[in-house]
Amino acid sequence: GMVTKKTYTIGLVIQDIRNPFFPKMVSGVEHVAYNHGYMVLLCNTDEDLNREKDYIATLREKRVDGIIITVSNGIDRAYIAQLTKGDIPFVFLDEIAEEVNCVCVDNTLGAYQATKHLIQLGHKHIACLSGPSTSITNLNRVDGYKKALMEAGLPINKDLILKGSYKADSGYKSAESILKDFPHVTALFCANDFNALGAYKAVVAHGKRVPEDISIVGFDDILDIPANHFAFTSVSQPTYEMGQAAATMLMDMIHKKPMNEPFMTFEPKLIVRDSTSSPL
Ligand code: RIB
């Protein structure tokens, strides 16, 4: 029969090494891999799909035993089909696609919790600063936002749902246009904390205060600055556990163990801090 030689290496492709969201996730993957005698090759794409494709091709050439990707063009079916053909097992971490084994947080629930928190504080005009429209993770967050509004009987205004990216400059631009065009808005739900940080800077640059004039909720819980500094209300993801789960799933696939959960969803948790309050 065919001789397959293991390299005891796995690839881990992440989209932004400078986003504090990722280190714990990488650490969860690495700990599990190490315990199984595997080494992790870390690839950073800076959210560039071409770099992602290059890295995956190179990891295949290097004959890694499996690959974990934290982001992918979730709705680009052709790309996913191309990814999953071939004999290397893949796990999607944080992003989801039906064809692939996945580990993610319940993004809809997290966004729902965040928006509901704003509604309970008394906000009626809440904008949504969304992330990349190719990301299912992001689309689910937009769904969660809408769900909370609908449940509270508040109208969904498409003009208040802004498209963007997961970078701070996107949050800045989106917040700026909301402040300019929709002065009645008192709260922003942001698809991630980099967006929230950009939005915060825009609000302050326009002479307004957070949370007195504008409340801001983010996603990821990376702006949890301790002590007396200003910390953000955010939806926390169990990133370490998610990394561990993805690596465990990949190890099971590499060792051809029967898979009982090809799709694992973790619970998000809203952490209320200084960036949200009732509208004045
Ligand atoms: O900040 C990075 C974002 O990309 C996170 O929210 C994560 O869930 C991913 O979608």
Ligand 1 lined by 137 (C-beta under 6 Å): yes
Type of residue at 191: A
Ligand 1 atom closest to the CA of 138, numbered from 1: 10
**C-alpha–C-alpha distance, residues 150 and 144, integer Å:** 10
Residue closest to 253 by CA, chosen among 27, 23, 38, 13: 38
Copy the structure tokens of residue 268.
């998000």
pLDDT score for 228: 61
pLDDT score for 75: 62
Ligand 1 atom closest to the CA of 193, numbered from 1: 1
Ligand 1 lined by 166 (C-beta under 6 Å): yes
Copy the structure tokens of residue 43.
């690839």
What's the gap in Å between 6 CA and the centre of ligand 1? Answer: 32
Ligand 1 lined by 200 (C-beta under 6 Å): no
Tell me the C-alpha to C-alpha distance, in Å, between residue 34 and each of 56, 65, 87, 169: 21, 14, 22, 37
Ligand 1 lined by 220 (C-beta under 6 Å): yes
What's the gap in Å between 98 CA and the centre of ligand 1? Answer: 19
pLDDT score for 258: 85
Ligand 1 atom closest to the CA of 191, numbered from 1: 6
Ligand 1 lined by 219 (C-beta under 6 Å): yes
pLDDT score for 7: 96
Ligand 1 probe mutation, 94, 219, 240, most atoms within 8 A of CB: 94
What's the gap in Å between 195 CA and the centre of ligand 1? Answer: 10
What's the gap in Å between 192 CA and the centre of ligand 1? Answer: 6
pLDDT score for 203: 98
Asked if 210 and 200 touch (Cβ cutoff 8 Å), the reply is: yes
Asked if 124 and 154 touch (Cβ cutoff 8 Å), the reply is: yes
Ligand 1 lined by 192 (C-beta under 6 Å): yes
The SS3 call for residue 224 is coil
**C-alpha–C-alpha distance, residues 254 and 268, integer Å:** 29
Copy the structure tokens of residue 94.
């944080």
Ligand 1 lined by 21 (C-beta under 6 Å): yes
Q: Give me the tens of pLDDT residue by residue for the chain, a chain 280 residues long.
A: 456 689 999 999 999 999 999 999 999 999 999 999 999 999 999 888 889 989 999 999 999 999 999 975 656 777 777 887 877 999 999 988 888 899 999 999 999 999 999 999 999 999 999 999 888 999 999 999 999 999 999 999 999 999 999 999 999 999 999 999 999 999 999 999 999 999 999 999 999 999 999 999 999 999 887 656 789 999 999 999 999 999 999 999 999 998 778 899 999 999 999 999 999 8
pLDDT score for 72: 56
What's the gap in Å between 142 CA and the centre of ligand 1? Answer: 13
pLDDT score for 98: 81
What's the gap in Å between 166 CA and the centre of ligand 1? Answer: 7
Ligand 1 probe mutation, 17, 47, 137, 138, most atoms within 8 A of CB: 137
Cβ neighbours, 10 Å, residue 162: 21
Residue closest to 167 by CA, chosen among 127, 201, 206, 126: 201
Integer Rg of the chain from CA:
20
pLDDT score for 122: 98
- Is the N-terminal amide bond of 211 cis, ω within 30° of 0? yes
